[in-house]
């Protein structure tokens, strides 16, 4: 309950910032750039937020909770569990959401996965084809030697194909500051200005089955050899009004990984989502 109250306050504060665009819509580009320059914050090798978007939400505040569990016993002792909470607020051409999640996994009683993140995003539909966005994120990942990664950025979302005949295609162009603290003492903290670009497509295979694929490319603007690439596909099956089954495949590549880490990760996840 305390966590939910905190998220409501956080999203409400961010919502006031988004609504302020109304008074400066004529200068939306300048406002976003000024926002980025003032808040020299820090960013992430971005978690795929495309799977968090909702095409339409009823006006007002809505809460969603999720939980997934994978358990194996016998020759292999393995347990993996995750939990999350989401808040949405929609009013006319303005939309915002806040998401928080936790994922932990153990094998033979030894922890090998421990990660969590909080993401907040505000959006304003400026025209039929363009949406301006601002976003902030905090992320932890113990087994990527990631003590803390903070993200703050903004940009434009171009609607190339907006849910025409159950198909959608969008292009994202933006800039973000990335600040990263590693658990390895020999590595200096990073503060980088990255270009944050993505392309995403969705398809309704059936009335209750949706496929979404997204690709991110995030180069360091001062060193193009330092870049991250993320590709993720997810399949969601709506079993009922309140119950959805999901499966996701994610590939992540880092051209300059932290010391002792591979340059890529591949994950397959299955889970359920409850909406109330």
Secondary structure of 27-63 in HEC code, one letter for each residue: HHHHHHHHHHHHCCCCCCCCCCHHHHCCCCCCCEEEE
What does the pLDDT read at residue 147?
A: 84
What does the pLDDT read at residue 109?
A: 78
Domain assignment of residue 64, given as a range: 2-19+27-275
What does the pLDDT read at residue 26?
A: 42
Compute mean pLDDT per 10 residues along the chain, 276 residues long, and list them: 47 50 43 35 47 65 85 81 89 89 86 87 92 93 82 94 78 93 74 92 89 93 92 91 90 86 88 78
**DSSP 8-state secondary structure symbol assigned to residue 258:** P
Number of domains in the chain: 1
CATH at 82: 2.40.160.40
What does the pLDDT read at residue 171?
A: 95
């Amino acid at each position: 309950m305390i966590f939910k109250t905190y998220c409501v306050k956080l999203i409400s504060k961010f919502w006031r910032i988004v609504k302020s665009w109304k008074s400066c819509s004529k200068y939306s580009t300048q406002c976003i750039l000024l926002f980025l320059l003032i808040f020299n914050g820090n960013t992430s090798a971005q978690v795929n937020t495309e799977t968090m978007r909702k095409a339409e939400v009823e006006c007002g505040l809505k809460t969603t909770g999720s939980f997934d569990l994978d358990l194996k016993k016998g020759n292999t002792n393995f347990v993996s569990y995750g939990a999350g909470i989401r808040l949405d607020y929609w009013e006319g051409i303005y939309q915002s959401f806040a998401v928080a999640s936790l994922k932990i996994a153990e094998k033979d009683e030894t922890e090998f996965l421990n990660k969590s993140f909080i993401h907040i995003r505000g959006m304003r539909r400026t025209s039929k084809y363009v949406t301006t966005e601002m976003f902030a994120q905090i992320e932890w990942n113990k087994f990527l030697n990631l003590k803390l990664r903070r993200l703050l950025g903004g940009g434009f979302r171009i609607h190339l194909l907006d849910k025409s005949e159950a198909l959608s295609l969008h292009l994202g162009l933006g800039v973000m500051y990335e600040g990263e603290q590693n658990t390895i003492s020999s590595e200096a903290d990073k503060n980088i200005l990255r270009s944050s670009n993505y392309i995403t497509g969705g398809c309704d295979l059936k009335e209750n089955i949706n496929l979404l694929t997204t690709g991110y490319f995030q180069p360091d603007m001062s060193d193009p050899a330092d870049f991250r690439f993320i590709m993720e596909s997810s399949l969601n099956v709506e079993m009922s009004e309140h119950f959805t089954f999901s499966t996701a495949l994610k590939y992540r590549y880092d051209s300059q990984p932290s010391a002792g880490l591979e340059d890529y990760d591949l994950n397959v996840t299955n889970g359920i989502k409850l909406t109330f």
